């Protein structure tokens, strides 16, 4: 019952976040200079007349006061209408939907690789000899401070151009997914691993770890069965950071590897000032955040019984 | 029938000397790091089958390190050397990690203090108890579940089916400690090591756990009890070894060590136990602090604080309204000490917070020097609050770790409006009052010992020249000899400066030593109050009698029961 109420409260907060996201992106795009009507019709270097622009403005409601545009926009959102892309002339929902599969595939693969790498490295290197720790945390530091596109380029040069193991670009098959996945996953894995190792080292100092050892449990057992679960709580808390890294990284990664996907879509929409599409993608990202955080809240209760009963 | 094992391990019978003690340690030396000094410095002892040896010492004496060395868990970066380190007649000093794993849990059970942090918080206690069974026996899962219930029953846990499913935080302190003991004896070990098994438990619970350990002792398994508390040891041990700075200063039968100690340090330890000494006797040999002040004149007719019919209730996360303080009334007069004693959850600390005006009472009221808190203007409240100071149990968490002592004190002095140039002098003066010196000004909390930190906390409380200091378990985290010094210091300050104390403690011995008058609290109510002598010699309330009977003093125990 209390669990349900907790989730209901978070759900309401999530709606608030979505509304805030819609408002902020609306304000941001209207604050930047530029004529949306011009952007809509000037696609192929055409030179539209004032009459045409006026008609476009009337059609899209761009001649109305800003607050009316805002309210209309919110009203349409409530009906599930994200509007129509200026450039592609298709509903925004459809435009996102067409690209979504590829990005979800990439993001899930990257998330999986990141978590596996981070957990593996942290469990293996926490409270080990100093040189092992410094080697691991040094590598992590380099990976987190590398810009994503540089990392992607390095991977491309080594594994594609020189070794020829993976294709340079495209969306075809599993082998085309490998390099983008690692480009996206490595910086996230590096940060997660650092947090997880610090956490593990703290947990490994706890008395209950000594108790487990005093029962005759081997080191690997102590790490995996006792310490890891405590440390994972921290990783679950960082899922927001992971989602952010995945969405932001997807834009760069998809561009670099010339992959279709929401990241590419976002980039195109922003450069062509395709307001409905940008707002749609922003809202979509916010929705992903909200949903993930809800899931995290439920998972918390499963990992740590104290959250529910304490 | 003992819950501990009696049959020797079949694999060891061949090479074992039947006369050999269960444990033989000779000239054990342990250091940490490459150039660390020996924290255990030539310790030798034996434990015979069926015998209980106690290692007694204050923090840093090396007692826990010694105990952990017996299961090969001395710690990261430890260097262990010994002329002999034998378990069950076999040399274990060259054991590999694999050998140790065969001993830990199976032949040696280990009970740590504070079951809340010594049990995995994310697992039901049943699974924790089953862990050694899974590691060392071939029992099926179903058989392990059965065995866990048996074990819980054998350590006196009611409703074992329910308890096995629960998490540590859902159990009371006593049940948790019993569960931890159950996991240590799951494989019927030949030696049980208990490291501070009753520290942090309420007195009545402590008595029950000691009872349980006493029952487990029967049979021919050995026991090693590690404790800072001589009275705990008196109840359990056949022999006592007193450790100081890594060396055994005295070793012998319990009765002899407690009643006729040979070593000066053992004598000092015994003298430092406050329970047996009434107010006015010094517990430590430290000279009285240099307190330069003339006692202030007091209006002895008006109490500094008076509480009348205090009620405070909180709503828990489950929406249940809990009254934590009900109808509590008392008065503290200038220069006297009112002790509040009770077990955890009895409402002691909430009462103190109400007195200090940190919480608003749901009923009743607190008057400060005749004026009610709720009638004061905010400015008056601030002024009055300076007259009332507080000293907490754990000064480390009440200091900003980045602040130096000078800054900590400067902040407290600053409120009195002294010019910056004079602040340092005043800070040194305050430090001298608590027997510290100007050399401590630049230290940070982590660079001070527990006793020094508590002295700084007292100096901070003294800064605004208070009339009353609320002491909330001020010595509970300290070693007994340091505790003695702090209690002596508080007594000196009261004598010279006429400060009144509202002294909160769960420790009846400490309360007996410091108080003029006592309130006994249980479940938020004052069950008994009165003069300290009357409460301790002729308790009227049943609960007070229960509490008093649970008090352990080295003398009251008179050695272990047969």
Instruction: Kindly determine whether residue A210 and residue B122, on different chains, have CB atoms separated by under 8 Å.
Output: no
CA distance B73 to B93: 12
Are domains B10-272 and B334-360+377-557 of this chain identical in fold? yes
Give A124→chain B minimum CA distance, Å: 17
- The packing angle between helices A92-125 and A175-203, to 10°, is 50
Neighbours of B279 (CB within 10 A): 16
- Euclidean distance between CA atoms A93 and A78, whole angstroms: 14
Token output for A27: 């304000």
State how far Cα A109 lies from the chain centre. Answer: 12
Q: Which residues contact A13 (CB under 8 A, 6 or more apart)?
A: none
Query: What phi and psi, each to the nearest 5 degrees, are found at residue B504?
Result: -105, 130
Query: Could you give the residue range(s) of every CATH 1.10.3720.10 domain in chain A?
Result: 92-309
What is the Cα–Cα distance from A189 to A183, expressed in whole angstroms? Answer: 11
How does B338-364 read in b/e, with b if 16+ C-beta sit within 10 Å?
A: bbbbbbebbbbbbbbbbbbbebebeeb
Partnered with residue B322 across adjacent β-strands are B314
For residue A216, the chain B residues in CB contact (below 8 A) are: 100-106, 132, 135-136
CA dihedral sign of residues A154, A158, A162, A167: negative
CB contacts of B103 in chain A (<8 Å) are 216
3-state secondary structure B245-288: CCEEEEEEEHHHHHHCCCCHHHHHHHHHCHHHCCCCCCCCCCCC
- Chain B residues closer than 8 Å to A305 by CB: 122, 167, 169
CB of A45 within 8 Å of a chain B CB? The answer is: no
What is the fold of B10-272? Rossmann fold (3.40.50)
pLDDT, tens only, B175-191: 999 999 999 999 999 99
Show pLDDT as tens, one digit a residue, over chain A (310 residues).
566 777 788 888 888 988 888 888 778 767 664 566 666 665 555 566 777 777 777 776 777 788 888 888 788 888 877 777 777 788 888 888 888 888 888 999 999 999 999 999 999 998 888 888 889 989 999 888 888 888 888 888 888 788 778 877 777 777 778 888 999 999 999 999 999 999 999 999 888 999 999 999 999 999 999 999 899 888 888 887 888 888 888 888 888 888 888 888 888 888 887 777 888 888 888 888 888 888 887 787 777 777 654 3
- Name chain B contacts of A310, Cβ cutoff 8 Å: 169, 317
Question: What's the CATH number of domain A92-309, 1.10.3720.10, 3.10.180.10, 1.20.120.10, 3.20.20.10?
Answer: 1.10.3720.10
| Rounded-to-integer distance, Cα A280 and Cα A278, Å | 5
For residue A56, the model assigns a pLDDT of 73
β-bridge mates for residue B367, sequence order? B306, B372
Instruction: Please report the pLDDT score of residue A145 as a whole number.
Output: 87
The set of residues, in sequence order, having a beta carbon less than 8 Å from that of A77 and lying 6+ positions away, is A22, A283
Helices (H), strands (E): how many in chain A? 15, 0
Report the residue of B76, B96, B122 to disrupt the A interface, i.e. the one with the largest count of A CBs within 10 Å. Answer: B122
**Phi, psi values for residue B158, rounded to 5°:** -70, 160
Q: Verify whether the Cβ–Cβ distance A211 to B119 is below 8 Å.
A: yes
C-beta atoms of B122 and A304 within 8 A: yes
- pLDDT less than 50: residues of chain B: 1-3, 5-15, 557-562
pLDDT for B12? 42
pLDDT tens for B496-518 read 888 999 999 988 888 988 999 99
Residues from chain A contacting residue B318 (CB–CB below 8 Å): 2
Nearest CB to A211; choose among B76, B112, B318: B112
Question: Which residues in chain A have their CB less than 8 angstroms from residue B131's CB?
Answer: 212, 215, 217
pLDDT for res B18: 57
pLDDT at residue B461, rounded to an integer: 92
Q: Hey, where are the domains in chain B?
A: 10-272, 334-360+377-557
Among B377, B372, B312, which residue's Cα sits nearest to residue B523? B312
What Å distances lie between residue B244 and B58, B63, B219, B263, B337, CA to CA? 7, 9, 31, 11, 34
Minimal Cβ distance to A214: which of B71, B97, B167: B71
State the number of CA atoms in the 13 A half-sphere of B128 facing the CB: 36
B121 closest CB neighbour out of A213, A219, A306: A306
Scan for tokens 């590691």, then name that residue. Answer: B135
Q: Tell me the ipTM for this assembly.
A: 0.75
Q: Does residue A236 sit at the B interface (CB-CB below 8 Å)?
A: no
Q: How far is A306 from chain B (nearest CA, A)?
A: 7
pLDDT at B82: 92
Question: What pLDDT sits at residue A68?
Answer: 84
Cα separation, B327 vs B306, in Å, equals 13
Residue A223 touches chain B, beta carbons under 8 Å: no
**Three-state SS for B388?**
strand
| Closest residue to B135, CB basis, from A210, A216, A306 | A216
| 8 Å CB contact between B408 and B399 | yes
Residue A117 Cα distances to A136, A152, A156, A247, B381, angstroms: 12, 18, 20, 19, 58
Instruction: Give me the residues paired with residue B193 across strands.
Output: B110, B224
Q: Give residue A166's pLDDT.
A: 80
Contacting residues for B89 by C-beta, under 8 A, at least 6 apart:
B12, B15, B16, B17, B20
Contact B169 A230 (CB under 8 A): no
Chain A 118-137, residues with CB within 8 Å of chain B CB atoms: 127
Q: How far is CA B61 from the centre of its chain?
A: 16
Record: fold of B334-360+377-557? Rossmann fold (3.40.50)
Angle (deg, nearest 10), helices A239-256 and A228-237: 60
């Amino acid at each position: 019952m209390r669990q349900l109420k907790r989730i209901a409260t978070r759900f309401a907060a999530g709606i608030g976040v979505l509304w805030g996201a819609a408002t902020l992106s609306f304000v941001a795009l209207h604050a930047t200079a530029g004529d949306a009507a011009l952007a809509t019709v000037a696609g192929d270097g055409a030179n539209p007349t004032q009459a045409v622009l006026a008609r476009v403005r009337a059609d899209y409601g761009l001649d109305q006061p800003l607050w009316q545009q805002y309210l209309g926009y919110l009203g349409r959102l409530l009906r599930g209408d994200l509007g129509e892309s200026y450039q592609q002339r298709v509903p925004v929902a459809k435009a996102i939907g067409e690209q979504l599969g590829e990005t979800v595939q990439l993001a899930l693969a990257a998330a999986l690789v990141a978590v596996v790498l981070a957990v593996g490295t942290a469990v293996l290197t926490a409270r080990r000899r100093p040189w092992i720790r410094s080697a691991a945390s040094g590598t992590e530091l380099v990976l987190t401070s590398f810009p994503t596109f540089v990392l992607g380029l390095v991977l491309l040069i080594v594994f594609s151009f020189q070794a020829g193991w993976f294709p340079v670009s495209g969306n075809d098959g599993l082998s085309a997914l490998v390099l983008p996945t690692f480009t996206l996953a490595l910086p996230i894995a590096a940060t997660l691993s650092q947090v997880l190792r610090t956490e593990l080292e703290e947990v490994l100092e706890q008395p209950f770890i000594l108790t487990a050892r005093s029962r005759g449990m081997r080191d690997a057992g102590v790490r995996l069965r006792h310490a890891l679960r405590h440390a994972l709580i921290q990783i679950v808390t960082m899922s927001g950071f992971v989602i952010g890294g995945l969405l932001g990284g997807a834009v760069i990664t998809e561009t670099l590897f010339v992959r279709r996907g929401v990241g590419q879509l976002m980039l195109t929409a922003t450069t062509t000032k395709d307001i409905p599409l940008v707002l749609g993608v922003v809202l979509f990202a916010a929705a992903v955040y909200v949903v993930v955080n809800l899931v995290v809240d439920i998972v918390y209760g499963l990992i740590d019984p104290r959250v529910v009963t304490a | 029938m003992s819950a501990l094992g009696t049959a020797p391990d079949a694999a060891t019978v061949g090479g074992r000397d039947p006369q050999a003690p269960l444990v033989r340690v000779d000239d054990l030396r342990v250091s940490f790091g490459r150039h660390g000094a020996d924290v255990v410095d030539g310790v030798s002892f034996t434990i015979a089958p069926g015998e209980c040896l106690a290692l007694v010492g204050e923090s840093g004496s090396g007692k826990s390190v010694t105990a952990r060395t017996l299961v090969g868990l001395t710690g990261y970066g430890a260097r262990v050397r010994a002329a002999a380190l034998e378990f069950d007649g076999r040399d274990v000093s060259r054991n590999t990690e694999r050998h140790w794993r065969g001993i830990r849990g199976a032949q040696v059970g280990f009970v740590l203090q504070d079951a809340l942090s010594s049990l995995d918080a994310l697992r039901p206690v049943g699974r924790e108890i089953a862990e050694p069974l899974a590691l060392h026996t071939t029992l099926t899962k179903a058989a392990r579940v059965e065995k866990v219930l048996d074990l819980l029953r054998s350590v006196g846990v009611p409703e074992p089916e329910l308890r096995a499913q629960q998490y540590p935080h859902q159990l009371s302190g006593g049940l948790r400690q019993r569960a931890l003991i159950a996991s240590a004896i799951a494989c019927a070990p030949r030696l049980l090591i208990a490291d501070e098994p009753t520290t942090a438990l309420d007195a009545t619970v402590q008595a029950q756990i000691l009872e349980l350990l006493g029952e487990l002792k029967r049979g021919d398994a050995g026991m090693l009890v590690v404790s800072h508390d001589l009275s705990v040891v008196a109840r359990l041990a056949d022999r006592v070894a007193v450790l100081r700075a890594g060396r055994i200063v005295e070793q012998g039968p319990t009765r002899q060590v407690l009643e006729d100690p040979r070593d000066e340090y053992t004598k000092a330890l015994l003298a430092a136990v406050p329970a047996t000494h009434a107010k006015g006797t010094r517990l430590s040999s430290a000279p009285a602090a240099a307190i330069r002040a003339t006692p202030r004149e007091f209006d002895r007719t008006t109490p500094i604080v008076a509480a009348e019919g205090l009620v405070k209730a909180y709503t828990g996360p489950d929406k249940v309204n809990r009254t934590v303080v009900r109808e509590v009334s008392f008065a503290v007069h200038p220069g006297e000490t009112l002790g509040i004693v009770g077990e955890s959850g009895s409402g002691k600390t909430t009462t103190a917070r109400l007195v200090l005006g940190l919480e608003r009472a749901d009923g009743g009221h607190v008057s400060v020097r005749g004026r009610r808190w709720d009638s004061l203007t905010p400015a008056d409240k601030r002024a009055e609050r300076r007259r009332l100071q507080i000293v907490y149990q754990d000064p480390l968490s009440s200091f900003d770790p980045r602040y130096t002592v000078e800054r900590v004190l400067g902040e407290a002095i600053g409120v009195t409006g002294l010019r910056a140039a004079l602040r340092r002098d005043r800070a040194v003066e305050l430090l001298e009052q608590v027997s510290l010196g100007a050399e401590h000004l630049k230290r940070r909390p982590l660079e001070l010992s527990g006793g020094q930190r508590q002295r700084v906390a007292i100096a901070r409380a003294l800064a605004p020249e208070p009339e009353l200091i609320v002491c909330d378990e001020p010595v509970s985290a300290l070693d007994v000899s340091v505790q003695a010094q702090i209690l002596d210091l508080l007594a000196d300050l009261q004598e010279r400066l006429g400060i009144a104390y509202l002294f909160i403690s769960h420790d009846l011995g400490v309360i007996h030593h410091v108080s003029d008058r006592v309130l006994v609290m249980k479940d938020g109510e004052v069950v008994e109050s009165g003069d300290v002598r009357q409460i301790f010699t002729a308790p009227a309330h049943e609960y007070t009698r229960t509490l008093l009977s649970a008090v352990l003093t080295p003398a009251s125990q008179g050695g272990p029961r047969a």
